[in-house]
Structures are given as structure tokens and as C-alpha cells.
Structure 1
């Protein structure tokens, strides 16, 4: 009985150390560099991520911003909440929470992003749209996206 307790204590310490190492190991990379390790371009997240957590064993991640971020890309508006969550694996983001796209008058939640060669497919569940990876090589800014030449970047985040 005592040996079984010792084994359970050792196992729980080992699990804790593995998860802790997996989370702290990420602090050496920016969230944008971490995205690239999973074959995603840096521009699928806006500028201004303050921190992130990533469990490399499960792929579960959380990205933090100072506030809500809204900007346009082509004919779409994107909204990133102050906390983005989901699961990441090579070329695939799933179970996303905190990212929406405005289609016509409706805000639809983006639930999945997958990479197929040089294309990214964004899914809102009932529909999806595909864009070239080349559209996301730069990191967009809140308010102006990729077209920020004449935009003041003083008030990038809002507290929506």
C-alpha cells in the first residue's frame, strides 16, 4: 500500500513537471515564432499579444491581448477578443474561441483554421473561405490591419 502511494506521488510530480516544462519552455519564443513552428504565418494574429500559454503535449493554447482588436482584411472585418483559446497542431487550429469575422451584418465565430499547401482555410462551421498564405506574412495592427500607412496606432485596442 505504501509503495502504491509513493508511486502515485511520484507519478503526479512527474506529470506536473512535464506540464510545467512544456508551458515554461514556450516563454523563450514569441507567440508569433511559436505559430511558425506549427506551419502558420505570423499574420494570423494581430500585433500586441502580451503573453501566451501552450501545452506542447496537448496542443492547448491561450493567447492574451490588452483588449479587443478589430481590423479589416480585404472585404472582411476580424475581431479578436482579449483572450484567444484553442488547440494547435501542425497546420491546424481547432476549437477556436475568441475570433470572429463579420460577414454582411453578422459576426460569425471562426472555429478552425487549416493550412493546405500555400492556402489557409478559415471555417465558421457552416461555411469556409480560403486565402493565400502570402496574405498573412506580415503581422496586422488593430484598427488598420495591413494598411496602416495613414493610420495612427495610438489607440489600437478597445475594451469591448
Structure 2
């Protein structure tokens, strides 16, 4: 059996885990990724994880934050740690910056953009953001997420 696992939520009939199953396995909430992931690959030897959306999307959890997901999201996953993250960015003030690392520290998730880290309660990520609809969802519902802390590395 190959160490690479490919999956999509619709294929999750015992043959291959979905990306949401993989997140849970490594102690992350499913809400780190939006709804609509159409497939994923995990190389269990290296921890390289890739997840695929049909198209890029954005989500506005709370002012001043806005998240943007590219159609391919990748990084290295291990228990409580996602590193070398690519494909996820956050609008901070007036600039788009890449989220490069997510670390679970107890009941908090720490998101790093390199020069700063923001901490959020894990419970804020129990549900997936709506893929692609952002603030233009037909029901008008947008989930609000408040940061616990923001720490500059400078």
C-alpha cells in the first residue's frame, strides 16, 4: 500500500479518509478548511497534505479579518501542528499576508503570518466556513470569530 492517501468527502466510504477526517486525526478542528473540498492527498511518510477546492474562495469571520483560500491548499501536518502552509491568506489591516503555520496549544489555535501570531479558541472552528460564498451567502449568515490575542514577533 502506498503511503499517499487520496480522498474526497464523497468518497469517504471506508476506503480513504476525507481531509476533514485527516484534520481530526491530527487534533485539528474541521473548520480550518472551508466546505467544498473536492479531494485531498496525504503522504504519511513526510506529512505533506494537499487539499483541493473547485475554485478559490474567501470568508469574512470578523473585522478586521478576511480569509482567502486558493484552489490548492498545502502544508505539512503533524499532531497539533500545520507548517509550511500555502494557499491560505488573511487580510490584516490593508494587506493580504500568508498564514504560514497553525499550532494547536490546548484549547487555542495559534495562527502565524511570520511576523505576528493570533490566538483563537478551538471552538470557533468546529464548523467549516461556507466555501466560496463569504459575505454573499444567500442566507446572509456570517460566523463571527474573535481573536484571544495578537502577538507581534518584531
Structure 2 Cα separation of the partners of residues 29 and 94 of structure 1: 21
Q: TM-score, normalised by structure 1?
A: 0.77
Matched-pair contact (CA < 8 Å) for 2:39–2:51: yes
Alignment counterpart, residue 58 of structure 1, candidates 32, 46, 68: 46
Matched-pair contact (CA < 8 Å) for 1:72–1:143: no
- How many residue pairs get aligned? The number is 132
Structure 1 Cα separation of the partners of residues 104 and 138 of structure 2: 29
> C-alpha displacement at 1:24, in angstroms?
3.5
SS in 1 for 2:5: helix
Q: Which has the higher helix share?
A: 1
Q: Hey, what does 1:23 align to over in structure 2? A: 4
SS in 2 for 1:139: coil
Structure 2 Cα separation of the partners of residues 137 and 148 of structure 1: 19
Q: Which has the higher strand share?
A: 2
Q: Hey, what does 2:85 align to over in structure 1? A: 96
Matched-pair contact (CA < 8 Å) for 1:23–1:55: yes
SS in 2 for 1:28: coil
Query: Which segments of structure 1 move beyond 3 Å, counting only runs of 4 or more?
Result: 24-27
Structure 2 Cα separation of the partners of residues 135 and 149 of structure 1: 22
- The CA RMSD measured in Å over matched residues stands at 2.0
Matched-pair contact (CA < 8 Å) for 1:144–1:151: no
1:121 aligns with 2:110: yes
Matched-pair contact (CA < 8 Å) for 2:42–2:48: yes
Q: Which runs of 5+ in 1 are unaligned?
A: 1-16, 153-160
Structure 1 Cα separation of the partners of residues 22 and 79 of structure 2: 11
Q: Which runs of 5+ in 2 are unaligned?
A: 8-14, 142-154
Structure 2 Cα separation of the partners of residues 122 and 60 of structure 1: 19
